Amino acid sequence: MPIGYKKWVIYAVGTICLGLCSIGCVAPATPKPITEKDVPPRYAVAVQALKPEECGQCHPHFYDLIKTKGGKHRIDCKQCHVEFHIYRPGRVRYEQILPKCEACHDLVHGADLAQCSECHSEVHAPLDIPAGRALEQGCHICHPELDKEMKTYVTQHTEIYCSSCHHTRHGYVPECLECHQPHESSMTQSECLACHPPHKALQVVYPEDIPQESCAICHTNACEALKRSGTKHSVLSCTKCHPDKHRTIMRCRECHGEPHPASMLQKFRVCGQCHGTAHTLCRE
Ligand code: HEC
Ligand code: HEC
Ligand code: HEC
Ligand code: HEC
Ligand code: HEC
Ligand code: HEC
Ligand code: HEC
Ligand code: HEC
Ligand code: HEC
Ligand code: HEC
Ligand code: HEC
Ligand code: HEC
Residue 233 has pLDDT above 60, yes or no: yes
What mean pLDDT is predicted for residues 244-265?
Answer: 93
Whether 131 is in the pocket of ligand 7, judged by its Cβ within 6 Å, is no
How far is Cα of residue 107 from the mean position of the Cα atoms in its chain? 19
The residue whose CA has the least distance to atom 40 of ligand 3 is 101
From the CA of 177, give the closest atom in ligand 8.
35
Question: Residues with Cβ < 8 Å from 191, sequence gap 6 or more?
Answer: 214
Q: What residue owns the CA closest to ligand 3's atom 2?
A: 104
**CB-CB contact of 195 with 214 (8 Å):** yes
**100-to-91, 127, 136 alpha-carbon distances in Å:** 19, 17, 23
Q: Which backbone phi and psi does 205 adopt, to 5 degrees?
A: -125, 155
The confidence score (pLDDT) of residue 30 equals 74
Is 7's C-beta closer than 6 angstroms to any atom of ligand 4?
no
CB 121 within 8 A of CB 130: yes
| Ligand with smallest separation from the Cα of 252 | 11
DSSP the chain: --HHHHHHHHHHHHHHHHHHHHHHHHSPPPPPPP-GGGS-GGG-SPP-PPPHHHHHHH-HHHHHHHHHH-GGG-S-HHHH-SS-S--BTTTB-HHHHS--GGGT---TT-GGG--HHHHS--TTSTT--B-SHHHHTTHHHH-HHHHHHHHHS--HHHHHTTTTTS-SBTT----GGGT---SSTT--HHHHHHH--GGGTTS-B--TT--HHHHHTT-HHHHHHHHHH-SGGGGS-HHHHS-SBTT----HHHHH---S-HHHHHH---THHHH--TTT----
Q: Are 189 and 175 in contact (CB under 8 A)?
A: yes
Percent of the chain with pLDDT over 90: 79
pLDDT, one tens digit per residue, over 167-178 is 999 999 999 999
Kindly state the average pLDDT of the residues 252-262: 93
According to DSSP, the residues that pair with 88 across neighbouring strands are 92
Q: Average of pLDDT values for 22-38?
A: 64
Tell me the sheet residues that pair with 130: 169
Q: What confidence tier does 26 reach under pLDDT thresholds 50, 70, 90?
A: very low
Mean pLDDT of 10-36: 56
Which pLDDT value is given to residue 29? 62
What is the residue type of 229?
Answer: S
Q: In whole angstroms, give the CA distance from residue 95 to residue 102.
A: 14
pLDDT in tens, 110-143: 999 999 999 999 999 999 999 999 999 999 999 9
Find the mean pLDDT for residues 26-34.
66
- Ligand 5: centre distance to CA 22 (Å): 74
pLDDT of residue 271: 93
- pLDDT in the model for residue 34: 78
Per-residue b or e along 96-106, where b marks 16 or more CB atoms closer than 10 Å to that residue's CB: eeeeebeeeee
Instruction: Express each pLDDT in 59-111 by its tens digit.
Output: 999 999 999 999 999 999 999 999 999 999 999 999 999 999 999 999 999 99
Q: Tell me how far the alpha carbon of residue 228 lies from the centroid of ligand 9, in angstroms.
A: 20
Average pLDDT over residues 218-234: 94
Ligand 9 atom nearest the C-alpha of 195 is: 38
Q: Between these two residues, 270 and 11, which has the higher pLDDT value?
A: 270
Q: Among the atoms of ligand 1, which is closest to the Cα of residue 101?
A: 12
- Say if residues 52 and 60 touch (Cβ distance below 8 Å): no
